[in-house]
Structure formats: C-alpha cells, structure tokens
C-alpha cells in the first residue's frame, strides 16, 4: 500500500475550486481549499500527476515538518531536527524560500537565510559537505511558511512555477500565464464543448496562449508533458519508476486523442499583427499542437464563426474566448474602450448562439460590450485583477449598460445650497494659503482635497507666467458603489459650477478627471491624443503640463519641497534621476548647478517631455544624458560599467507591469533589491533620495544594516498637502566612504 503524504497545491487567485476538482481526479483525498491553495493527502503518484497534468496549479509542496517556534533560535533548532540527508544531496544544489509572517523574523530575506543556514549546517555535520546555492532550477527547493509562530517546511516538487510549460519562447505583449489561460477555459466549460466538437476562436490571440491551451485540452495533452525540469527530480525521495509510469500513461492518452483528431472542431487564433501570429505558430509547434489549431491575420471587425466541411458537422455553437487590452497594461484606455465596444458589436452581429468568455480589466470596460454576462468571476493574472465575463450570446443578453457621459457645466447650479457651501470652503482654503503663496511663490498648488466628504475632489491650481494664466485640474475620487449615480452627478455639477463662479477661472480651463482607487498603475495610462501642453511656473522654473492626455499632468505638486532640496544639494555633483517621469527633478538639479545629469525612464514619451522641460529653462546641453531603459536592468549594467553618482533621486511607481519591462514591479516587495542596486552606483559621501507614493509603504529595516537612513517625509510635506500626510514618504539614504 502506497505511503500517504500531506501536500499543498498553490493556484492563481480565483481558481481554487477548479483545482480541487482536478486534484480529486488525480486521486487526492481530504481536499481543503485555503484561499489561493488546496491542501490534500495522497501518494507520490498523486503528486506526480498533479505536477505533470494539472492545468491550474502553480506549485505542489510536500510537507516535511510542522512545528511551533516562538524565537529565531527555536526555529533554527527545529529546522535542524529534520533529516535533511534524506532529502538533499550535499553534492547538489539548493534553493530556499521563506514566506508568511513570524514575530521573530523581521523579513523574508532573513527567514530565507536562517532556513538555508539550518539545512547547510545539518548537512555539513552529517556528511561533511554542503550544497551550492542555485536560485534557478536547483536540484531541491525548500520552502518554509510561517503563520504566526507555526512554521511549515516543505519540498517544492515543482521547483519553479508550473505555468512554465516548456513550450513558450516569447510571450509578446501582455501575455496571460498559461495556468490562468487554462483556468479561463475550464471556467468557460471548454473541455465539454471540445468533446462535442465545438469550434474555438480567439480573435485577438497575440502570442497564442489561449489558443494553445485550448488545443492542448482538446488533444488531451498533459499540461507539462514537454517540461524537462521539476523540483522532485533532484530530491532524494524521488521515485523514478512511479514517475515513468505517470508520464507513459499521459503520453498514451495524448496518442489516443490524436487518433480522434478529425472529430474535433476548428481551433483558431486571429490577430492583426503578423509578427505575433508567427510567434504563436512557433509556440504551437513546440507545444505539439500545430496540427490542432490554425492562425489567421485579420482585424477584430472581420471576425466570424469558422466554416466547417467535416461530415458529420460539429456542433454549430462554439466558444469565443479572449483577453482584450484594458489600458493599464497596454496603454490607451480610450482605445481599450473602443476595442471592447467593437468586440461587443461583432458578438451581437455574427456569433448568435455562441458562448463568449471575455477577460476584462475593469467593470467599466465590460459594460462597453453591450451584453449582459450570466456569470462574472474575479480572477488574477499574477498581480493583475480582472473579471471573466461569461456570456451566452443571443437576444436575451443584449443590453446597453454603458453609463451616460458627462454634461456641460450649468452656471445656475452655483446658487444651490450645496454649491454655496462648497464655494465657502474653497474661499477659506485660499485665504489660509495666501500668506504662504506670497512668501514661497510655489506657482502651482493644491487648493482642496476632499475636505468635505460629499464633494470628493482634489483640486489643483496651475499658474502660468502671468496672473491671467490659470488652470484648475479637478480629480474626482470614485464614489462608493452605494452612492446613487444621480447623486454623484449632481454633486459633480454643483462643484464645477461653484469652481467657475468663485475662482474666476473660465470653464474651458477647468479640466476634470476621475481617479479610481483600484486600477494599479493607471496614472500612467494614456487617456487622449490632444497633445496640448501649457507652460506653468514652479519656484522660478518653467514646466510643460498636459491636462487632457493623461490622468496626471506631468508635475507632481507634492514633491515640490523634495525637488527644492535636490536643487540645493546638486551644485558640482553628478546627478542621477531614476524612474524620471517628465524629468522635473532633473531640471531642478541642473538649475542647482549639477556637474552632469543622467535621466532614466522606460518611456520615450516621458524622456522627450523631460528634454523639453530642460530646454524650457535654457539648461539643455551635452552634460545632460537621457536613457530609455528598464531602470532595474540599467542599474546592473551601469554598475558593471563602473558608473558612479554623487546625488540620486529614485521615485519608482507603486506598481508597474509595463509590457516593455521584465516582470512586475511592486515597490513594497521589491524596494530592497532596487535600493541596494542603486547604492552600488553611489559615490563615497553620496546621497540617495528615495520617494514613494505608496500609502501603506513600510521601509524594510534590512536597509538600516548597510546604510544610514533618515526619514524626511514630514519635512518634505508642503503646506497645501498637510491634510494628507501620507501623500508620499521620502528618505535620505547614505553609505560610508567604503562603498565600492
């Protein structure tokens, strides 16, 4: 009788219930969902099948030990009691990971080091050797997770994410993870449809992830049949005979399905980009499904159900499944809205009777389809939240759910009680700021920031070079769902009318934007194409701002004092501006007499904007260098070249998943590695100024062990932002003279 073990399978958020069903088919018992994971018991064969066949799982962990430990020393002692020679070959390679929160472990990096030390010390004592550390494809990967004082230690049988099937060469722009794509298909009922011979279409397939996963499901090819690396292959408890039996059975099932290929419906991927389709075709060949699917060049507007010559013909209904662009990741929000509207029109006109599964980034974009979804599922692709809309295309699903667009400002509303109350608050705020404005001459400033809950706006005044040149930039915070839309529109209209009446700024110079709370990274998304810039003044310097094309204008007003401090510190120094945006900090440093400046950003648009800002102030020249690059990659290359800087400003986004950047950046998770890379470029006696607008950010104390850190958040908070002391956090970081 096979030995039963305790396992935990992780899964992308939103798919745990589907994973539970998969694991049950593999023979798993005692299944228990735990958020984004499923715990189960079973044999090694069950775990091997999960690693090989699960289309949803991210990792499979084999539990080795579970213990209570209240201190760092107790954790180390408990880890030493595990029989590590039974699991890890000291002549091989090892990787360790720590997750969760423990009262005695300050951060995950420290927990990982303690785990590694305990394993290596135990192996050195027992065998006289210790394994080498290898973060990429180690022979064994050990994982420890803390939940309070309870610690669970496991072998990661996957070794690396199981979404890495082994067939992808290049994901192209904004790829779905393979297990997320499979989850969408399973959620949409594709396996049953495929068995009935239904057709499949992705009209915007890109590099083909959804099409390939659909074809592999129809072909009954195990999810990781082509994958060569698993974490259990170097584990000393590995049962090679059982693994061979599991693989052989999977190959036999795929061969049997291949013999029934002529009974399957067409599986088609379309895209307007021939380069993306060539990539998709190459991926399909490596995934062993080139004969199961085909790819066609075509616009979304021309998409139609495929014609089928098979006898007997397959079911006329099929599944259209796609992941259209939604602005945050691929850029233009308005273009994303237009794509969704066009997709809805195509579905209504040509796909009656079909099923549709559309992954969209926001409910607002989903409304543009003009179709009611009978089921909506929240799913996650990495750190990106989305909604899977399942639609039965037909007359019953057709409904225009799009919100009404904004109306013009009605001057009469300025006399309503609410508008008068709002205008009084504006006047009070202006009076409180007048003395400071006369003394400091900020040029642009925040007048109002949701002081009255009923009027949830941030209102900024932008001043040009003459008193007549003034603009109001009004950002409306998205109202809670329980507030009726009619009330939201009324208050918005009252506020705009009061603004025009009380400030004297013409209506055409009042610009309104809605700032939503949940779309991470959206402040950098493009909204329009007017390309109209105005010149404003800040502390004696001139900057170009844009009120129409982006959610932010190009000038972060809360960084005003920080920029002034950089100008005061820049004389004779080599200045580096990272995640530079529109280069405002570079302008300040150059104005302060910096010997040279280097400005690094991933966006060509923002770098061009930065150069124009420098030229506006007569500061352009050979001493000022602009670099378009992923900052993290550039930092490593610059360190290798031996570049050094005396003054560095680093203001990374809270979150970024740009299609041109490798991976996803999260400032809370990644700031230690980022800042350590920056410090390698800091000359002896140099200064790094690090700023973030992440509201809940906490600087990792591990930095204090290698550098001198001073929190200057309070002294860099301008008076016009005093109502929101968490608008940003700012730190000065220095290292000693031995920084090479």
What is the reported pLDDT for 654?
Answer: 86
Rounded Cα distance, 111 and 700, in Å: 14
On whether both 287 and 431 belong to a single domain, the answer is no
On whether both 123 and 193 belong to a single domain, the answer is no
What is the reported pLDDT for 215?
Answer: 97
Residue 36 contacts residue 16 (beta carbons within 8 Å): yes
DSSP secondary structure code for residue 102 in this structure: B
Tell me what the mean pLDDT of segment 636-659 comes to. 88
Q: Provide the percentage of residues in the chain whose pLDDT is more than 70.
A: 91
Banded pLDDT at 555 (limits 50, 70, 90):
very high
What is the reported pLDDT for 492?
Answer: 86
**pLDDT of 328 above 50:** no
Half-sphere CA count of 653, side-chain side, radius 13 A: 22
**pLDDT of 518 above 50:** no
In a domain, 564, yes or no: yes
What is the reported pLDDT for 407?
Answer: 43
**pLDDT of 738 above 80:** no
The count of domains in the chain is 4
Please give the residue that has the higher pLDDT: either 44 or 380.
44
In a domain, 583, yes or no: yes
Give the CA angle between residues 712, 714, 718 to the nearest 5°. Answer: 110
User: Residue 730 has which token pair?
Assistant: 């700012």
What is the reported pLDDT for 329?
Answer: 38
Rounded Cα distance, 619 and 408, in Å: 41
What is the reported pLDDT for 9?
Answer: 97
On whether both 74 and 145 belong to a single domain, the answer is yes
**pLDDT of 519 above 70:** no
The CATH number given to whatever domain includes residue 573 is 3.40.50.150
Banded pLDDT at 401 (limits 50, 70, 90):
low
In a domain, 328, yes or no: yes
Rounded-to-10 torsion of CA 603, 608, 613, 617: 140
Lowest mean per-residue pLDDT among 205-219, 520-534, 712-726: 520-534
On whether both 462 and 571 belong to a single domain, the answer is no
pLDDT, tens digit, 9 for 90 and up, residues 251-300: 999 999 998 888 889 999 999 999 999 999 999 999 999 999 999 999 99
Please give the residue that has the higher pLDDT: either 86 or 739.
86
In a domain, 647, yes or no: yes
Last residue of a domain, one of 508, 524, 540: 524
Banded pLDDT at 705 (limits 50, 70, 90):
confident
The CATH number given to whatever domain includes residue 111 is 3.30.2130.30
What is the reported pLDDT for 317?
Answer: 81
Q: What is this structure's pTM?
A: 0.61
What is the reported pLDDT for 308?
Answer: 57
On whether both 498 and 561 belong to a single domain, the answer is no
On whether both 520 and 585 belong to a single domain, the answer is no
Nearest alpha carbon to residue 53 among 202, 171, 216, 223: 223
Lowest mean per-residue pLDDT among 173-177, 283-287, 624-628, 702-706: 173-177
Cβ contacts of 196 within 8 Å, gap of 6 or more: 314, 315
Please give the residue that has the higher pLDDT: either 82 or 478.
82
What is the reported pLDDT for 365?
Answer: 80
Lowest mean per-residue pLDDT among 428-432, 510-514, 689-693: 510-514
User: Residue 237 has which token pair?
Assistant: 């408890």
On whether both 519 and 377 belong to a single domain, the answer is no
On whether both 604 and 718 belong to a single domain, the answer is yes
Residue 252 contacts residue 220 (beta carbons within 8 Å): no
Banded pLDDT at 326 (limits 50, 70, 90):
low
On whether both 565 and 705 belong to a single domain, the answer is yes
**pLDDT of 480 above 80:** no
**pLDDT of 740 above 90:** no
Rounded Cα distance, 367 and 354, in Å: 19
In a domain, 740, yes or no: no
User: Residue 473 has which token pair?
Assistant: 């930039």
Banded pLDDT at 413 (limits 50, 70, 90):
confident
CA distance readout (Å), 187 to 21, 199, 382, 447, 613? 12, 17, 18, 49, 50
What is the reported pLDDT for 465?
Answer: 80
Last residue of a domain, one of 156, 190, 210: 156
Name the CA radius of gyration of the chain, rounded: 29
In a domain, 243, yes or no: no
On whether both 474 and 614 belong to a single domain, the answer is no
In a domain, 446, yes or no: yes
pLDDT, tens digit, 9 for 90 and up, residues 95-129: 999 999 899 987 888 999 999 999 999 999 999 99
Banded pLDDT at 433 (limits 50, 70, 90):
very high
**pLDDT of 174 above 70:** no
Phi-psi label, residue 294: left if phi above 0, alpha if psi -120 to 50, beta otherwise: beta
Q: Provide the percentage of residues in the chain whose pLDDT is more than 90.
A: 68
- Domain boundaries, position 629: 556-734
On whether both 288 and 393 belong to a single domain, the answer is yes
Residues linked to residue 10 through DSSP beta bridges, in sequence order: 37, 59
Please give the residue that has the higher pLDDT: either 605 or 220.
220
Banded pLDDT at 156 (limits 50, 70, 90):
very high
Banded pLDDT at 730 (limits 50, 70, 90):
very high
Rounded Cα distance, 11 and 674, in Å: 28
The whole-chain average pLDDT of the chain stands at 88
Last residue of a domain, one of 397, 424, 451: 397
On whether both 380 and 445 belong to a single domain, the answer is no
What is the reported pLDDT for 657?
Answer: 57
Phi, psi of 21 (to 5 degrees): -65, -40
In a domain, 548, yes or no: no
pLDDT, tens digit, 9 for 90 and up, residues 21-64: 999 999 999 999 988 999 999 999 999 999 999 999 999 999 99
CA distance readout (Å), 321 to 185, 386, 387? 8, 14, 13
């Amino acid at each position: 009788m096979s030995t039963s073990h305790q396992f935990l399978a992780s899964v992308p958020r939103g798919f745990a219930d589907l994973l539970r069903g998969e694991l049950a088919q593999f023979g798993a018992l005692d299944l228990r969902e735990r958020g984004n994971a499923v715990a189960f018991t079973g044999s090694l064969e069950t775990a091997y099948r999960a690693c090989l066949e699960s289309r949803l799982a991210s990792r499979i962990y084999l539990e080795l030990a579970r213990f209570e430990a209240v201190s760092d020393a107790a954790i180390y002692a408990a880890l030493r009691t595990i029989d590590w020679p039974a699991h890890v070959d000291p002549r091989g390679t090892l990787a360790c990971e720590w997750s969760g929160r423990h009262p005695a472990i300050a951060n995950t990096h420290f927990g990982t080091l303690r785990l590694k030390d305990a394993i290596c010390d135990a192996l050195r004592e027992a065998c006289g050797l210790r394994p080498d550390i290898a973060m990429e494809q180690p022979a064994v990967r050990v994982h420890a997770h803390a939940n309070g004082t309870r610690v669970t230690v496991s072998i990661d049988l996957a070794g690396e994410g199981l979404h890495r099937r082994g067939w992808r060469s290049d994901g192209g722009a904004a790829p779905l993870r393979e297990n997320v794509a499979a989850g969408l298909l399973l959620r949409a009922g594709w396996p049953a449809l495929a068995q009935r011979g239904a057709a499949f279409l992705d009209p915007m397939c890109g590099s083909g992830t959804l099409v390939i996963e659909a074809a592999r499901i129809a072909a009954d090819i195990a999810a990781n049949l082509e994958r060569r690396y698993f974490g259990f292959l170097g584990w000393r408890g590995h049962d090679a005979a059982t693994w061979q039996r599991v693989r052989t059975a999977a190959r036999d099932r795929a061969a049997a399905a291949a013999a029934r290929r002529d009974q399957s419906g067409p599986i088609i991927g379309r895209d307007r980009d021939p380069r993306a389709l060539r990539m998709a075709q190459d991926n399909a060949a490596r995934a062993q499904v080139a004969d199961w699917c085909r790819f066609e060049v075509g616009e979304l507007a021309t998409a139609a159900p495929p014609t089928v010559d098979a006898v007997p013909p397959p079911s006329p209904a099929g599944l259209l499944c796609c992941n259209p662009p939604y602005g945050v990741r691929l850029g233009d929000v308005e273009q994303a809205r237009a794509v969704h509207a066009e997709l809805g029109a195509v579905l209504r006109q040509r796909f009656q009777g079909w099923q549709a599964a559309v992954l969209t980034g926001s409910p607002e974009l989903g409304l543009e389809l003009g179709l009611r979804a009978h089921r909506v599922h929240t799913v996650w692709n990495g750190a990106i939240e989305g909604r899977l809309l399942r639609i039965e295309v037909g007359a019953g699903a057709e409904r225009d759910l799009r919100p009404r667009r904004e109306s013009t400002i009605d001057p009469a509303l300025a006399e309503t009680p609410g508008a008068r109350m709002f205008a009084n608050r504006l006047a009070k705020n202006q009076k409180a700021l007048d003395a400071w404005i006369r003394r400091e001459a900020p040029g642009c400033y925040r007048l109002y920031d949701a002081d009255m809950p009923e009027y949830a706006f941030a209102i900024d005044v932008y001043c040009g070079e003459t008193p007549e040149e003034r603009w109001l930039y009004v950002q409306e915070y998205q109202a809670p769902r329980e507030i009726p839309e009619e009330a939201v529109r009324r208050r918005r209209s009252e506020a705009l009318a009061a603004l025009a009446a009380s400030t004297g700024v013409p209506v055409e110079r009042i610009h309104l934007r809605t700032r939503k709370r949940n779309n991470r990274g959206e402040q950098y998304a493009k909204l329009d194409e007017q390309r109209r810039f105005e010149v404003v003044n800040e502390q004696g310097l001139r900057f170009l701002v844009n009120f129409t094309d982006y959610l932010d204008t190009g000038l972060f007003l809360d960084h005003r004092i920080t920029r002034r401090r950089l100008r005061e510190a820049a004389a004779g120094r080599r200045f580096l501006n990272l995640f530079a945006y529109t280069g405002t900090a570079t302008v300040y440093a150059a104005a302060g007499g910096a010997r040279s400046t280097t400005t690094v950003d991933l966006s060509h648009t923002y770098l061009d904007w930065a150069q124009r800002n420098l030229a506006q102030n007569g500061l352009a020249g050979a001493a000022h260098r602009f670099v378009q690059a992923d900052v993290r990659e550039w930092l490593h290359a610059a360190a290798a070249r031996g570049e050094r800087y005396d003054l560095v400003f680093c203001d990374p986004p809270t979150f970024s998943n740009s299609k041109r950047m490798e991976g996803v950046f999260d400032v809370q998770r990644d700031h230690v590695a980022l800042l350590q890379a920056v410090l390698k470029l800091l000359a002896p006696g140099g200064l790094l100024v690090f700023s973030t607008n992440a509201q809940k950010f906490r600087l990792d104390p591990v930095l204090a062990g290698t550098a001198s850190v001073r929190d200057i958040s309070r002294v860099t908070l301008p008076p016009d932002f005093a109502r929101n002391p968490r608008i940003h956090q700012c730190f000065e970081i220095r290292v000693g003279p031995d920084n090479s």
